[in-house]
Structure 1
Amino acid sequence: MANNLVKVIMAGMQVVGRAFTRAVRKEFNASKQAAERAGGGAQGAKSASSSSLFGMTLDEAKQILNVSDPANAEQVLKNYEHLMKANEKSTGGSFYLQSKVYRAKERIDSEMGSDASSNSANEAKKESIET
C-alpha cells in the first residue's frame, strides 16, 4: 500500500515538474518574441522599460490619443487638449480618463524625446485643473 502511494506521489510530481518546465519555456519564448517585435537589443529593452514606467505601450498611447504618427507633435497636442477638456470633472467627465490621456501623452513624449511639448502639455493640464 505504501509502495503504491509513493509511486502515485512520484508520478504526480513528474507531471507537475513537466508542466512547470513547459510553462517557463513558453514564457521565455514569448518574452523573447516581444523583445524582437519591440526592436530587439537595446531598443527593445528601452521600449520595455518605458512601457513599465508609464504603464502602457506606445501603440496603446497612440490609440488613446487617436494619432497614427506620434512624431506629429501638433496633432498629438491638439488631440490631448481636446480629450482633457472633454473629460473635465467639472463638466461630468472622468478623472480616470484624464489620467489615461495624460499618461498616453507622457508616453509619446518620452518616446519622441520632446521636452517642449511635454512642458506645454503640463501647462495645459494645470490650466484645466485650475478652471
Structure 2
Amino acid sequence: MAKYVAQIIVLGAQVVGRAFTRAVKYEYAVSQQAAKKAGGGKEGAKSAATNSIMGMTLQEAQQILHVSKLDKELIQKNYDHLFKVNDKAKGGSFYLQSKIVRAKERIEYELGETAAQNGGPQKSINNGRKSTSSQQSTKDTTSSS
C-alpha cells in the first residue's frame, strides 16, 4: 500500500513540475515578445515606464474607448458616450467609469508626447468632468494668490 501512495506522490510531483516548467517558459516567451514590441533599448524602457506610471498600455486604453487610431474627435465622442452610459446615477459602474477616465488620460498623455516630439503645441482634450471640492479649493487658493 505504501508503495502505491509513494508512486502517486511521485507522479503528482512530476505533473506539477512539468506544468510549472511550461508556465515559466511561456511567461519568458511572452516577456521577450513584449520587449521586442516595446522597441527595446531606451525607447522600450521609456514605454515600460510610461505604462507603469499611467497604469495601462496605450493599446488597452484604445480598446476601452473603442478607437483604433488617435483621433481626438472620435476619442472625445466615445469617452462622452461611455462615461454617460456608466454613470452610477443611471445604474452604471463607478469602476468602469474610472477605467474610461484613465484610458482617456493615457491617450491624452500619448497625444501630448507625440505633439512634443513633432514640435507642435500640447493640447489636452477637455474631458467635461465636474471638478470635485478638493479641485475647486485648489483653484480658489491659486486664484486668490
- For normalisation by structure 1, the TM-score amounts to 0.67
Kindly state the Cα deviation for residue 125 of structure 1 after the two structures are TM-superposed.
1.6
Q: Does structure 2 retain, via aligned residues, the 8 Å contact 1:80–1:105? A: yes
1:55 aligns with 55
In structure 2, give the amino acid aligned to 1:117. Answer: S
Q: Structure 2 unaligned runs (5+)?
A: 1-16, 116-121, 133-145
Aligned pairs for 1:67-106 within 5 A: 67-70=67-70, 72-106=71-105
User: What is the CA–CA distance in structure 1 between the aligned matches of 2:111 and 2:61, rounded to whole Å?
Assistant: 12
The reply to whether residue 35 of structure 1 matches residue 39 of structure 2 is no
Deviations 1:37-83 (A, max 9, x none): 1122222112111211122111111010000002x111111111111
Kindly state the Cα deviation for residue 117 of structure 1 after the two structures are TM-superposed.
2.7
In structure 1, give the amino acid aligned to 2:129. Answer: K
User: What is the CA–CA distance in structure 2 between the aligned matches of 1:117 and 1:79, rounded to whole Å?
Assistant: 16
User: What is the CA–CA distance in structure 2 between the aligned matches of 1:78 and 1:97, rounded to whole Å?
Assistant: 17
Q: Structure 1 unaligned runs (5+)?
A: 1-15
User: What is the CA–CA distance in structure 1 between the aligned matches of 2:65 and 2:79, rounded to whole Å?
Assistant: 6
1:8 aligns with none
SS of 1:56's equivalent in the other structure is coil
Aligned residues: 107
Kindly state the Cα deviation for residue 116 of structure 1 after the two structures are TM-superposed.
2.8
1:116 aligns with 123
Larger RCO (CA within 8 A; separation ≥ 6): 1
Compare the two structures and name the one with the higher helix fraction: 1
